[in-house]
Amino acid sequence: MRVGVLALQGDVSEHIDLLRQLGAESFEVRSAQQVATLDGLILPGGESTTIAQLMRYYGIETAIQEAYARGLALYGTCAGLILLAKRIEGRKDGSLALLDVTAVRNGFGRQINSFEADLSIPVLGEPPFRAVFIRAPYVRDPGPDVEILARYEERIVAVRSDRLLASAFHPELSGDPRMHAYFLQMIAAKQPTAV
């Protein structure tokens, strides 16, 4: 299973380390050509506006949209959630515009308001997941096909819709591999079985 991590700006190596620990072939993705070779792609935290501009500049935005249409699974964390969203509060439209939600940027405040919290995420089982929120967004207005996976203080912080997974927090900073394992399970469930 080949799972890339978009490496234009933001967190990258921690995602790769966790994916490799879980047995996935993982590497940095910096070109549109690399996207076509993947089973899954993580859009990491960072600065969403910068990442979106770089994706457009390098032609990666279109490559991701086309690969998703062919079956690619995507996981957006923090800024990655914003990149996946169809709607972004205070903006015209989303970047990739694949996930039927509204993303609220800096929904919990500025950098100084960053925090950690234990989340109940039923698809991961017990114990609670220690989530790291850094200038985190949250989700509003999920569409009918969007499954809410977790909330923090009534705000939606993790969702799934078919081959799209998104979390407002940084799972790669927790040391807990369960969100990444869940993403790998999503990918495996969509792959054709050998006859």
Question: CA–CA separation, 114 vs 106, rounded Å?
Answer: 10
The torsion angles phi and psi of 127, rounded to 5 degrees, stand at: -80, 180
Residues 6+ apart with CB under 8 A from 195: none
Q: Which helix (H) or strand (E) holds 140?
A: strand 138-140
- The radius of gyration of the chain's CA atoms, rounded to the nearest angstrom, is 15
Q: Catalytic residue numbers?
A: 78, 170, 172
End-to-end C-alpha distance for the chain, whole angstroms: 18
Token pair listed for 6:
């978009």
Bond before 122 cis per omega within 30 degrees? no
Question: CA–CA separation, 133 vs 153, rounded Å?
Answer: 13
Question: CA–CA separation, 17 vs 10, rounded Å?
Answer: 15
